[in-house]
Amino acid sequence: MHIKKPTVVKAAGNKPKIIEEFIGRINTGTDQISIAHMTSPAGWEEPPQTPDFVEYTYVIRGIVHVKISHETITVGPNEIFVSRKGQTVQYSTPEEGGAEYIAVCTPAFSQELAGREE
């Protein structure tokens, strides 16, 4: 399979964020894994979620903050954060310049599996 372009997916959060899904339920009809390129602005924050998937976040540029329990982990360029299935997490990019990163989810991301809080 040769994937020439992603599908842009609507993002959750307080500011516009670009999600380009290359592999996943929307772009390729794949439910085993999703791979998406994220471009997130400074000050972006999404609601907490308790997903039914494992998420691997690889930061290319900028800083991604990941809040778990009462701790915030700062993930920088060329670093990866792995969230476990059933772990409550909240992602944000509060730093100047935002962030660019790759998210890989197994099974593939879906709104139903995300477990987002309102």
Q: For residue range 32-75, what is the model confidence (pLDDT) as tens digits? A: 999 999 999 999 999 999 999 999 999 999 999 999 988 999 99
For position 117, what pLDDT does the model report? 84
Q: Quick check: helix, strand or coil at residue 30?
A: coil
**Triad 15, 58, 35: Cα angle to 5°:** 80
For position 74, what pLDDT does the model report? 98
Integer CA distances (angstroms), 110 to 5, 98, 107, in order: 20, 24, 9
What are the structural domains, with CATH classification, of the chain? 7-101 (2.60.120.10)
The average confidence (pLDDT) of the chain is 95
For position 118, what pLDDT does the model report? 72
Enter the pTM of the model: 0.92
